[in-house]
């Protein structure tokens, strides 16, 4: 069984971004710039933003943080987005989700210039991905595909199952797999007989947010498993631990290759954000 090391692959991506940024500077061009907008006091969001800002600094990308109070009016947030759209010194804009209830996330994302939408969430970029046209791809599915390609040089004809239909992971992941000529099924909360769907798949991408939903006994022997889930659970001893959407211990005995949680998909998300920011600058 191959353990797919997301940390190692992400380190390679970050090193390549750092080399390209250094080459830009050597040519007399400014480094790429990412503006991160954080609204409110969500602890997880603060951790994510801190990690993104740190990764930018390590690769030579300039980052700027814009922190707004949790009771900010939507109009004020939209005005900030429009200012960043118009700023020629800003290449990428990331509005950290979730937003407080008074701010409509769809409206805010739609306000971002698609050419600066490094999260890949804007309808223009989502549409371009669905049509197989170049654009910004959401970072987590882009990272998942990168990890799959460390195992499979060619995905054409592979039976792929994506569990989860979110616009952030599930749907763009399916579109990426279709573009690789895989045969793709999307499963979700209303799918019938999930174990049978899993049992047919050469590739399983689990992104549903339910701890250890996918059992090892469901898997086709030798399948490749990409576990996007990151769930905090409390064990019988009262201690908290992180688990994925796949029961790792069971799956590792059956799968041909699998990502760990943590240390699998997570590091790739930030690495692909850095790549998208570099792309925006170029």
Q: Which of 279, 268, 266, 267 is nearest to 21 (CA)?
A: 279
Provide the β-strand partners of residue 94: 36
CA dist 16 and 22 (Å) reads 10
119 is catalytic: yes
Joined together, the tokens standing for residue 138 give 């959401």
CA dist 271 and 56 (Å) reads 9
Name the superfamily (CATH) of residues 139-265: NAD(P)-binding Rossmann-like Domain (3.40.50.720)
Q: Report pLDDT digits (tens) over 213-248.
A: 999 999 999 999 999 999 999 888 888 899 999 999
pLDDT value at 104 more than 90: yes
- pLDDT band for 132, please (50, 70, 90 cuts): very high
CATH architecture, domain defined by 30-113: 3-Layer(aba) Sandwich (3.40)
Exposed/middle/buried for 235, CB within 10 Å: 0-12, 13-18, 19+?
exposed
pLDDT value at 180 more than 90: yes
Share of the chain above pLDDT 90, in %: 95
Q: Note whether 226 and 147 are within 8 A (CB).
A: yes
Measure CA 177 to chain center.
Answer: 15
102 is catalytic: no
Question: What pLDDT, on a 0 to 100 scale, did the predictor assign at position 235?
Answer: 81
96 is catalytic: yes
What torsion do the CA atoms of 8, 199, 190, 163 make, to the nearest 10 degrees? 10
Question: What pLDDT, on a 0 to 100 scale, did the predictor assign at position 25?
Answer: 96
CA dist 255 and 181 (Å) reads 22
CA dist 182 and 43 (Å) reads 38
Domain map (residue ranges) of the chain? 30-113, 139-265
pTM score of the predicted model: 0.95
**120: alpha, beta or left, given left = phi > 0 and alpha = psi -120 to 50?**
left
Q: Note whether 147 and 268 are within 8 A (CB).
A: yes
Q: Which is the catalytic residue, given 96, 116, 117, 202? A: 96
Q: Note whether 282 and 274 are within 8 A (CB).
A: no
Do 30-113 and 139-265 fold alike per CATH?
Answer: yes
Q: Which is the catalytic residue, given 52, 116, 202, 245? A: 52
Q: Which is the catalytic residue, given 91, 117, 119, 245? A: 119
CA dist 108 and 110 (Å) reads 5
- In this prediction, residues 137-142 reach a mean pLDDT of 98
Task: Give the C-alpha distances (Å, rounded to integers) separating 30 from 21, 23, 55, 91, 282.
Answer: 9, 10, 18, 11, 11
Q: Which of 170, 173, 195 is nearest to 251 (CA)?
A: 195
Q: Report pLDDT digits (tens) over 16-67.
A: 999 999 999 999 999 999 999 999 988 889 899 999 999 999 999 999 999 9
């Amino acid at each position: 069984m191959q353990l797919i090391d997301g940390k190692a692959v992400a380190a390679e991506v970050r090193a390549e971004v750092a080399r390209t940024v250094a080459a830009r500077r050597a040519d007399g061009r400014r480094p790429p710039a990412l503006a991160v907008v954080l609204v409110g006091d969500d602890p997880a969001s603060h951790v994510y933003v801190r990690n993104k800002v740190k990764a930018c600094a390590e690769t030579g990308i300039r980052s700027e943080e814009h922190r707004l109070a949790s009771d900010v009016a939507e109009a004020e947030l939209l005005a900030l987005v429009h200012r960043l759209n118009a700023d020629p010194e800003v290449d990428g804009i990331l509005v950290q989700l979730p937003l407080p209830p008074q701010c409509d996330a769809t409206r805010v994302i739609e306000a971002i210039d698609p050419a600066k939408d490094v999260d890949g969430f804007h309808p223009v970029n989502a549409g371009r991905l669905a049509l197989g046209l170049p654009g910004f791809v959401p970072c987590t599915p882009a990272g998942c595909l990168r990890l799959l390609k460390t195992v499979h040089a060619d995905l054409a004809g592979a039976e792929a199952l994506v569990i989860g239909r979110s616009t952030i992971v599930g749907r763009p992941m399916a579109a990426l797999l279709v573009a690789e000529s895989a045969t793709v099924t999307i499963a979700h909360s209303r799918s019938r007989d999930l174990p049978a769907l899993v049992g047919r798949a050469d590739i399983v991408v689990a992104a549903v947010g339910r701890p250890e939903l996918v059992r090892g006994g469901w898997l086709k022997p030798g399948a490749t498993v990409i576990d996007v889930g990151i769930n905090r659970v409390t064990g019988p001893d009262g201690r908290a631990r992180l688990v994925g959407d796949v029961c790792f211990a069971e799956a590792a005995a059956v799968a041909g290759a699998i990502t760990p949680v943590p240390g699998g998909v997570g590091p790739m998300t930030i690495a692909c954000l850095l790549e998208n920011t570099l792309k925006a600058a170029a």
